[in-house]
Amino acid sequence: MINRHSKFWRIGYFILGGLIFIVIGLFIWRDHEDQVRFAKKNYINSNIPTLFIHGWSGTLRSERKMASDAEASGAAQRRMVIRVRPNGKIAVTGTIKKWMRNPIIFLRMDNNRAGEFQYARWLTKVCKLLKSKYHITRLNFVGHSMGSYATVYYNMLNGNRKDLPEPISCACWPALTTGLSTTASRISR
């Protein structure tokens, strides 16, 4: 009798535990679906490209996760890779057309330890190319670490130049929390 009773409780606990896991899983799934729906409903659908700039010792892989997430959500598509050689020569793979929605451009610096000031000079060359050859008049920037320093420096120097694309938005992380005042003081001299 005791054996049959304990077996009944074990089965009951197992079923109850399984139901709890299912309910928790459903709540997590529903929350995730709500977030995806919200993101799809609220992202901006435009033909303004976003330029991803890696940081110190970075490569194309540095920005891949964020771009992959944007692609998976349907918010953007990778369209171009721009490679800047150590001598400043630019090689472009892919293209940008006016009809493309939220295109992503990866910028790869072969000399990925050149410093933010050299990055900004190369970024200026790249942006001139984008305006002259691909007729890009407006551009979003995403910079990580030293790429964010270079983006801020580039925008401070070139923000109003007519021969470069107009900077629309600039997302820079995480290096801006330290050292920006040092960079800004070097720029103002």
Residues 95 and 145 both lie in one domain: yes
Residue 135 is part of which domain span?
45-188
Strand blocks (E) in 85-128 = 90-94, 103-109
**Chain-centre distance of CA 73, in angstroms?**
13
Taking a C-beta distance cutoff of 8 angstroms, is the pair 93, 81 a contact?
yes
Residues 98 and 145 both lie in one domain: yes
**Chain-centre distance of CA 186, in angstroms?**
27
Looking at residue 174, its pLDDT comes to 62
Taking a C-beta distance cutoff of 8 angstroms, is the pair 73, 37 a contact?
no
Residues 13 and 32 both lie in one domain: yes
Describe the crossing of helices 146-158 and 180-188 by its angle, rounded to 10 degrees: 30
| pLDDT above 60: residue 179 | no
Residues 117 and 135 both lie in one domain: yes
Between the ranges 43-52, 69-78, 85-94, where is the mean pLDDT highest?
85-94
* Tokens representing residue 131 in the block: 């305006």
Residues 31 and 108 both lie in one domain: no
Looking at residue 51, its pLDDT comes to 94
H helix runs in 83-179, sequence order: 116-134, 146-158
Kind plus residue range of the DSSP H or E element containing 13: helix 2-42
Residues 156 and 99 both lie in one domain: yes
Residues 91 and 150 both lie in one domain: yes
Residues 14 and 50 both lie in one domain: no
Dihedral of CA atoms 71, 72, 73, 79 in degrees, nearest 10, equals 10
Residues 94 and 180 both lie in one domain: yes
Considering the entire predicted model, what is its pTM? 0.71
| pLDDT above 60: residue 161 | yes
Residues 53 and 124 both lie in one domain: yes
Residues 135 and 178 both lie in one domain: yes
Looking at residue 154, its pLDDT comes to 92
> Which CATH number do you get for residue 119?
3.40.50.1820
Q: Per mean pLDDT, which range of 51-60, 88-97, 175-184 is the poorest?
A: 175-184
Looking at residue 188, its pLDDT comes to 35
Looking at residue 7, its pLDDT comes to 83
Residues 8 and 94 both lie in one domain: no
* Tokens representing residue 39 in the block: 């993101």
Please write the tens of the pLDDT for every residue from 94-135.
999 888 889 999 999 999 888 889 999 999 999 999 999 999
Give percent above pLDDT 70 in the chain.
89
Q: What would the mean pLDDT of 84-89 be, rounded to a whole number?
A: 95
What's the number of domains the chain is made of?
Answer: 2
